[in-house]
Amino acid sequence: MSDREGHTADLKVTWLGAAANAGLMGLKLGAGLVSGSVALVADGIHSLSDVATDMVVLAGLRMAQRPADENHAYGHGKFETLASAGVALALGGAAVWLAWEAVAELAVGVREVLGLWPLVVAAVSIGVKEALYRATSRVARASGSPATKANAWHHRSDALSSVAVLFGAIAVLAGWPQGDRAAAIVVAVLVGLAAARIMHGAIHDLTEGALSPSEQMRVGEAIDTVPGVRGWHALRTRRAGRGAFVDLHIEVDPHLSVRQAHEIASEVESAVGNALKRRTHVVVHIEPDEQRKA
């Protein structure tokens, strides 16, 4: 998938998620108010935050596509990482609010939840959000977008939240009215864990964290396949959104012409880019291999 195709796919699946979240928000809030389910109302507010984070992801995707300029010589890829951090912050705030409301309700007493609305809505939400997770995750794997990947996990956390609501509703119908509030606390924990996972990845990239060990291994294997490279060292990697930056030193025959050495360096750049299968910027420093004879 080309970079442009990946960007288009990211935008489409994010708009799809935003539309679905808006529909689920209305359904959950309405059903929650009618039935008296605190967990369902909380899940509806969570869906409202989902719409907001979808807008953040869309903004980050659009900003990341801007070409490099005088102020951003390395491009705008990290706006995608900032968008994923925004998703994590929204999830974290929602988790704190959900837990606070649920604990407060348990402290002052609970009301019986009426009807089957929580069961029906939770079941619908589980199906929709799991489908969105699978679709968004598939696009994220193809495009390499951290913002889209974060949004995929956001969908998965929503599906898990609705599972908690479903079990809470079943508990209420079985004669345990506190089950609805307990489910809301479980929702908060699940959302908080998703927020921590997404934020960890965002902080890693924003603080110039290296590519994963498996990706670095692929880089090394790609360098070794290039004829004329006698050795390499000083490998440095980092990520910027869906793109990657790789710097390294290679050792070549000291008797090669400048043109020949340059051609080897260009082959290294191509090999590394093909190995990572993402938008990659490679800088190769050429050194003469003085330890071996030509």
- Tell me if 77 sits within 8 A of 60, measured CB to CB: no
Cα gap 101→104, rounded to integer Å: 5
Strands (DSSP E) found in the chain: 231-240, 243-252, 280-288
pLDDT of residue 60: 83
Evaluate if residue 58 carries a pLDDT over 80. Answer: yes
Residues 6+ positions from 134 with CB-CB distance below 8 Å: none
From-to residues of CATH 3.30.70.1350 in the chain = 213-288
Which residue has better confidence, 43 or 121? 121
What is each CA distance from 139 to 132, 143, 151, in whole angstroms?
A: 11, 6, 11
Q: In what helix (H) or strand (E) does residue 159 lie, and over which residues does it extend?
A: helix 146-173
Structure tokens that stand for 161 in this block: 């939240």
pLDDT band at 290 (very low <50, low <70, confident <90, very high): confident
Q: What is the mean pLDDT of residues 58-66?
A: 82
Evaluate if residue 111 carries a pLDDT over 60. Answer: no
The single-letter code of the amino acid at 99 is A
Cα gap 13→5, rounded to integer Å: 12
- Tell me if 16 sits within 8 A of 155, measured CB to CB: no
Of 8, 43, 36, 42, nearest to 128 (Cα)? Answer: 43
Which residue has better confidence, 89 or 182? 89
pLDDT band at 224 (very low <50, low <70, confident <90, very high): very high
Which residue has better confidence, 148 or 248? 248
From-to residues of CATH 1.20.1510.10 in the chain = 3-206
Report the percentage of the chain scoring pLDDT > 70.
Answer: 91
pLDDT of residue 108: 64
Return the SS3 of 114: coil
Which residue has better confidence, 46 or 86? 86
Of 159, 182, 157, 160, nearest to 171 (Cα)? Answer: 182
The domain made up of 3-206 has a fold known as: Alpha-lytic protease prodomain-like (1.20.1510)
Place of tokens 């995707």: 61
pLDDT of residue 222: 95
Quote the radius of gyration of the chain (alpha carbons, Å).
Answer: 25
pLDDT band at 39 (very low <50, low <70, confident <90, very high): low
- Tell me if 63 sits within 8 A of 44, measured CB to CB: no
What is 213-288's CATH number?
A: 3.30.70.1350
- Tell me if 291 sits within 8 A of 282, measured CB to CB: no
Evaluate if residue 293 carries a pLDDT over 80. Answer: no
Q: In what helix (H) or strand (E) does residue 249 lie, and over which residues does it extend?
A: strand 243-252
Q: Per residue in 271-285, pLDDT tens?
A: 999 998 777 899 999
pLDDT band at 1 (very low <50, low <70, confident <90, very high): low
Q: Per residue in 2-24, pLDDT tens?
A: 667 777 888 899 999 999 989 98
Of 51, 28, 52, nearest to 41 (Cα)? Answer: 28
Q: What is the mean pLDDT of residues 76-89?
A: 85
Q: Per residue in 125-178, pLDDT tens?
A: 889 989 999 999 999 888 888 888 888 887 887 787 777 777 777 877 777 777
pLDDT of residue 258: 94
What is each CA distance from 74 to 47, 69, 77, 126, 178, in whole angstroms?
A: 35, 8, 8, 41, 54
